[in-house]
């Protein structure tokens, strides 16, 4: 579904910094994959390249066999709106719009019919537990509810790939568990393909698979075998080893 081949990203001209050093990664249709690693490891750069927000220095990103970076700017923007869904730490919702208007924003930009948009909202809002919030403004709802709205907006056009960048970063523990449970539910029930960047081992434990990036290289890849608790503990051990913490005790 997603094929990343020898992906490199170099910033700067005279003083060059190699943020990604030739990453290879395959994500199958319906997988829920977490990306973890130390600060500055290249996690967000990697996600931005897949999101077509940034361009790779070399290498390929193929989504269902197609390379979006070969498109012109107008078609890349359309690709982003129709093929990808985005969930951010800061929600990125528009405060002047209602919850419903925020959810259908990608469809509005594509000129979808109002009746179609209304139906899609009726379908998705109950699944995310936000059907009672549709007429409220963003300032009137909680952070956890706002992130649910952001997930609804990301999924309303049924994207090929959902990209989530630290989606629990601004949430308390209960809201974090709610949002991660929701993403897992979308993955299991809707077969949504999800790529999640997180520094939080608990959030990561909701994934099926974790890839670890360090110094711009993919250094470890682990799949969940047992319970979520066992996976959480395995992630903690792997993080300590990759960050070098286990050598200090």
Question: What residue has token string 């993080």?
Answer: 239
Banded pLDDT at 232 (limits 50, 70, 90): very high
Mean pLDDT of 112-119: 92
**Domain range for 244:** 2-248
Work out the average pLDDT over 86-91.
87
With 80 as the cut, is the pLDDT of residue 247 above it?
no
Query: Mind listing the pLDDT tens digit for each residue in 52-67?
Result: 989 999 999 999 998 9
Q: Averaged over 92-100, what is the pLDDT?
A: 93
Which CATH number fits the domain that encloses residue 194? 3.40.50.300
Average pLDDT of the segment spanning 114-129: 91
Indicate whether 245 pLDDT > 80. Answer: no
Confidence at residue 88, expressed as pLDDT on a 0 to 100 scale: 87
To the nearest 10°, report the CA torsion of 151, 153, 157, 158. Answer: 0
Could you tell me what percent of the chain has a pLDDT over 70?
98
186, pLDDT greater than 50: yes
The pLDDT mean for the chain works out to: 92
Helices (H), the chain: 43-50, 73-83, 99-103, 105-109, 114-127, 143-155, 173-190, 201-204, 228-242
Q: Is residue 249 pLDDT above 50, yes or no?
A: no
Helical ranges in 12-84 per DSSP H: 43-50, 73-83
Count of structural domains, the chain: 1
Give the distance, in angstroms, between the CA of residue 173 and the centroid of all CA atoms in the same chain. 19
pLDDT at 94 over 90: yes
* Stretch 35-50: mean pLDDT: 93
DSSP string, 166-205: STTTTS-HHHHHHHHHHHHHHHHHH---EEEE-S-HHHHT
In this prediction, residue 170 has a pLDDT band, given cuts at 50, 70 and 90, of confident
User: Across residues 156-167, what is the average pLDDT?
Assistant: 92
């Amino acid at each position: 579904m997603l094929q990343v081949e020898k992906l490199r990203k170099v910033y700067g001209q005279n003083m060059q910094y190699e943020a990604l050093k030739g990453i290879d990664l395959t994500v199958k249709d319906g997988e829920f994959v977490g990306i973890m690693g130390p600060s500055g490891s290249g996690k967000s750069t990697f996600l931005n390249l897949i999101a077509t927000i940034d361009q790779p220095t070399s290498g390929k990103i193929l989504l269902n066999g197609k390379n979006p970076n070969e498109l012109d700017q107008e078609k890349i923007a359309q690709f982003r709106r129709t093929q990808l869904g985005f969930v951010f730490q800061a929600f990125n919702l528009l405060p002047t719009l209602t919850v419903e208007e925020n959810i259908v924003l990608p469809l509005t930009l594509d000129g979808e019919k109002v009746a179609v948009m209304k139906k899609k909202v009726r379908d998705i809002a109950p699944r995310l537990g936000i059907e009672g919030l549709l007429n409220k403004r963003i300032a009137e709802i909680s952070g956890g509810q706002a992130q649910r709205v952001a997930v609804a907006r990301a999924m309303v056009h049924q994207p090929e790939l959902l990209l989530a960048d630290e989606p629990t970063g601004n949430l308390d523990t209960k809201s974090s568990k709610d949002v991660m449970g929701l993403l897992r539910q979308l993955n299991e029930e809707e077969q949504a393909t999800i790529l999640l960047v997180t520094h939080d081992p608990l959030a990561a434990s909701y994934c099926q698979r974790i890839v670890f990036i360090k110094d711009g290289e993919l250094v470890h890849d682990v799949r969940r075998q047992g319970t979520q608790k066992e996976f959480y503990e395995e992630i903690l051990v792997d993080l300590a080893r990759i960050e070098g913490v286990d050598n200090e005790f």
